[in-house]
Amino acid sequence: MAKALLIVESPAKARTIGKYLGPGIEVKASVGHIRDLPVNRLGVDLENQFEPEYITIAGKQKIIADLKKAAKDKDVVYLAPDPDREGEAIAWHIAEALQAKDRLFLRVLFHELTPKAIRQAIEHPEEISVNRFESQQARRILDRLVGYQLSPLLWDKVKRGLSAGRVQSVALRIIVERERQIFAFAPVEYWSLTARLSAEGQEFDARLFKKDGRKIELANEEQTQGVIRDLDGQPFVVGPVAKKERKRHPLPPFTTSQLQQAAFSRLRFPAAHTMRLAQQLYEGVELGSEGSVGLITYMRTDSVRVAADALTEAREVIQKRFGPNLLPAQPQTYQNKKGVQDAHEAIRPSSSGRAPEDVKRFLSPELYNLYELIWRRFVASQMKPAIIDQTTADIDAGRYQFRATGSVIRFKGFLSVYDLGEKEDKEVLPPLEEGRPAERLGLTPKQHFTQPPPRFTEATLVKELEENGIGRPSTYATIISTLRDKAYVESNRGQLRPTELGFIVNDLLVANFPQVMDVEFTAGMETHLDEIEEGRIPWREVLGQFNAPFENDLAKARLAMTSLKREGLPTDVPCDRCGANMTMKYGRNGPFLSCSKYPECKNAADFKRDENGRLVPVRLDAEATGESCPQCGLPMARKKGKYGEFLACTGYPDCKTTRPLGLPNGSSDNGLPTMDAGPCPQCGSPLAVKRSRQGSLFIACTNYPKCKHTQPFPTGVACPRENCDGQLTERSSSRGVFWGCSNYPKCRFTLKHRPIPKACPDCQSPYLLEAPAQDGSGPTLLKCPNKACGYETPA
């Protein structure tokens, strides 16, 4: 019988660890947190020094009972949740729940799930870290104070279901401010002039960069043509030639944020998806006869430190697989950034001897691609640098000077394993000598314009948050997902752009909570949380310093924050009926413009933003459609309702004919099946496409309410689940529209986006997904459902 109990938070992790331990230790899983603050109230006693109210999480009573039963005859309980603050909190609450006389609780930290690492961790247990737990508790309470008090304020002022967060809202501000920088950007024209030259029988390019020894900037075509006239007849002579050797050093192994950035840039994986896959690789993957094996070290870290044993193994792998010429004399070590919590190693393979191709047959394509990325980055970090020969030559032409550059990789080094995605090989220059002539073959002027700062992608937003000290790398994926889920931002071809709701929420919070929304203040709070973990400051003191000014701002905002349900945000858009300025309000169909003289003037309009961010009224009902009402013959007009745009007869209210936009009696542009569904099987009347209150399309008899026959709206796509003969149809629930199998409940396959019966040209997937319209200017996209494929095209 087992003498000790070891508790981890994940069943997969429990299976991996269990096979390495003997019968003396029983392994159980808590399945994440077992206790937390209540979901239906604040759960923090503000009058009693922020004392938290912890309750058992719904559904965890049975798990706690199982853990108590397993611990009943055990004198020692090893607590082995993840080695971070969240894991410490899980361990703390498990110990509280299993407390018994003479029972010893020991904290075990698994940084990698290998037999050696597991044995060493159990042989060297620690006590539960009170400071680390209090740091997590302080963060949890801070987030609760902000989220549970700001969110209801937004419900009252804008609409229900919105959320605000201590870190989430600052991330939104960063995205919104970047968008406004783009709106305010004014492109500036400039020109370049490139000479095509020949020397020693080889052609090459040189670019104008000086006049009379000073850097020259060409502002317009007139200046550029003036230079071309000056160069007419001028000989081109080779000036100083500089040759130097440049070394390109390998990058350190991944930290959490760097892994998220690289996985997005190279694999197009969203941050949340990257972390889910990394969790699987860490907790264990079934490798045939080996059983469950943890393939990487712990994936939540901001350290680049690597254990000595891992360095030794990596050097042996490089020696055997790639040859001694790529192996440096000494192991490569990397310096952590200032303020890094060095509790965990960098993300690396648990064994670099387990090459990606060795485990490929056991992994899904996505798991394989991520593991290969981690393996290559780590192995490359222990290789010699690349050596690049770079040549720079100045070419004199009268008062002007051109410059030609060329480079060639002499020794690939680590680039043979981990390509940086940059072109190190540039144009190879001929053997130029100072004073020798160069033949002019032609001059090419080119117009350019300065570019606005780019919108954030998930990768660049993660980098921005990390550089500003906002949040922790382990939270970035959740932050981005929340901003999307709440419709504060949308992604268009990988770029994050704030929605109108995002602008509204950001502006209200910045105006009323300047401290909470301040980037430097939020970064400083992360420093205080680190100080709590280090035992340098009491957690209650940090909460007290934050809450006093926050409560003051909260009291003012409840009275002074603008309500978009009532008065609305002022704009400079004039009312085209009475001349007063319009205000922006938020109704059941989203944001709209309303006259500030309401109710005297009831003018209202939808709007969009132009390229400079200005609000432009849009009247959908005034747009011609070119279609006639099938009932009365009057023109059909575009309208906007709760579930989006639709067509309605201009004879309303005498004629109430409506139809979903983009679904004529025939196939749509996206290949949806024909809508002429024939007669009603019950009464013989024609069938028509309708839209439910939840927003889904369905087919119904036009003889309603006498005949109430309905049938699902077809997509023409067969259910992709193996051994299922169902078809995917459009459906809806309280959460909105989705697409599911017609064989429900026998088959529960569902999709969030509309399936289109077109095969992917890259991977031959039998259908594509129609991504929702991203914004007013971005096109709807057709995307391959296979994320590893990545194919997408405008719909």
d(CA 256, CA 278): 10
Neighbours of 345 (CB within 10 A): 18
Contacts of 562 (CB under 8 A, 6+ apart): 157, 508, 568, 569
Contact indicator for 129, 107 with CB cutoff of 8 Å: yes
Pairing state of beta strands 76-79 and 104-107?
parallel
Contact indicator for 761, 769 with CB cutoff of 8 Å: no
d(CA 402, CA 240): 11
Contacts of 618 (CB under 8 A, 6+ apart): 605, 606, 607, 608
Phi-psi region of 288 (alpha: psi -120 to 50; beta: other; left: phi over 0): left
Contact indicator for 227, 193 with CB cutoff of 8 Å: yes
Phi-psi region of 191 (alpha: psi -120 to 50; beta: other; left: phi over 0): beta
Pairing state of beta strands 202-211 and 44-45?
unpaired
Q: If you write DSSP's letter for every residue of 52-65 in order, what string do you get?
A: E--EEPTT-HHHHH
Beta bridge partner(s), residue 395: 238, 402
Q: Which two tokens stand for residue 520?
A: 């430097």
Q: Which helix or strand (DSSP H or E) is residue 325 part of?
A: none
Could you give the residue numbers annotated as active site?
A: 298
Closest CA to 162 of 179, 143, 148, 181: 148
Helices (H), 185-325: 221-231, 256-267, 271-283, 308-321
d(CA 152, CA 147): 9
Closest CA to 738 of 724, 725, 727, 754: 754
